[in-house]
């Protein structure tokens, strides 16, 4: 898609920055996605890099609205915001449409898979930032932001591994999304970069689960020193 208006990336960045307020999806996340996308495009070839760069810069500008109203899909909402801003700032409808289509389909939790090469590269670049150690850190940031716990207890009081959890938690997010990310890439380069990061994420998950399970099963300390009535934990009065 050819753009009839020469891209002013400073203006695009300024608009992007005005829309970002989430620590897990901050401006540095956007720049990492952009760098990943450029790397993928360089290795795989064929992409319209101007279109790709604009889509990367604007891909998460709908996050603030989703936080305010969880029923909103930030990808769909952000795609509309991006289209409107681009047209108002002199870009052709065709270019704005192409950017919108990329942003609409970048979300993992979506039944709208990317179609164009640029959309597939954006998807992969965004998902690379959910892989490995960075992905773990960002997920923990996000879970803290929305006040969700690291793990959930089963009905028998054991620490669940996230597989069958009914309530949101970090371990549930790992089993649902982070663990299943690595075979979802569309580009060869994206798959290669993701594979290098997989062990870091798995090692963290395994260590966290082992440590909290050990804590809950340690030497009967709970039975010896804590009384449990309902779900409230209170130290027994020894005086």
pLDDT, tens only, 50-104 = 999 999 999 999 988 887 888 888 999 999 999 999 999 999 999 999 999 999 9
Give the CATH number of domain 130-239; options: 1.10.10, 1.20.1270, 3.40.50, 1.20.58.
Answer: 1.20.58
pLDDT at 234: 45
Contacting residues for 143 by C-beta, under 8 A, at least 6 apart: 149, 150, 168, 169, 170, 173
Q: Which tokens hold the place of 142? A: 């996000």
Six token digits for residue 70? 């969880």
CB of 51 within 8 A of CB of 1?
A: yes
pLDDT band at 236 (very low <50, low <70, confident <90, very high): very low
- Domains in the chain: boundaries: 1-126, 130-239
pLDDT tens across 173-201, in order?
999 999 999 999 999 999 999 999 999 99
The answer to whether residue 112 scores a pLDDT higher than 80 is yes
pLDDT confidence of residue 216: 84
Q: Which whole number is the average pLDDT over 31-43?
A: 97
**CATH code for the part of the protein at 1-126:** 1.10.3210.10
């Amino acid at each position: 898609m050819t753009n009839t208006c020469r891209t002013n990336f400073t203006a695009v960045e300024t608009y992007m920055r005005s829309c970002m307020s989430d620590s897990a999806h901050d401006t540095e996340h956007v720049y990492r996605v952009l760098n990943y996308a450029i790397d993928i495009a360089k290795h795989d070839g064929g992409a319209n890099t101007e279109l790709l760069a604009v889509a990367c810069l604007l891909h998460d500008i709908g996050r603030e609205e989703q936080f305010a109203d969880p029923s909103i899909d930030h990808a769909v909402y952000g795609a509309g915001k991006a289209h409107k801003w681009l047209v108002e700032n002199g870009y052709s409808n065709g270019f704005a449409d192409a950017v919108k289509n990329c942003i609409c389909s970048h979300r993992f939790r979506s039944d709208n898979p990317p179609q164009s090469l640029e959309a597939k590269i954006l998807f992969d670049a965004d998902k690379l930032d959910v892989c490995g150690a960075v992905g773990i850190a960002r997920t923990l940031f996000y879970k803290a932001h929305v006040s969700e716990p690291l793990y959930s207890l089963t009905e028998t009081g054991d620490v669940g591994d996230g597989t069958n959890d009914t309530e949101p938690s970090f371990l549930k997010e790992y089993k649902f999304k982070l663990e299943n990310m690595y075979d979802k890439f569309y580009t060869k380069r994206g798959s290669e970069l993701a594979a290098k990061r997989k062990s870091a994420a798995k090692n963290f998950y395994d260590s966290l689960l082992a440590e909290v399970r050990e804590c809950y099963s340690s030497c009967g300390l709970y039975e010896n020193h804590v009384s449990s009535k309902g779900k409230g934990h209170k130290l027994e009065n020894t005086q």
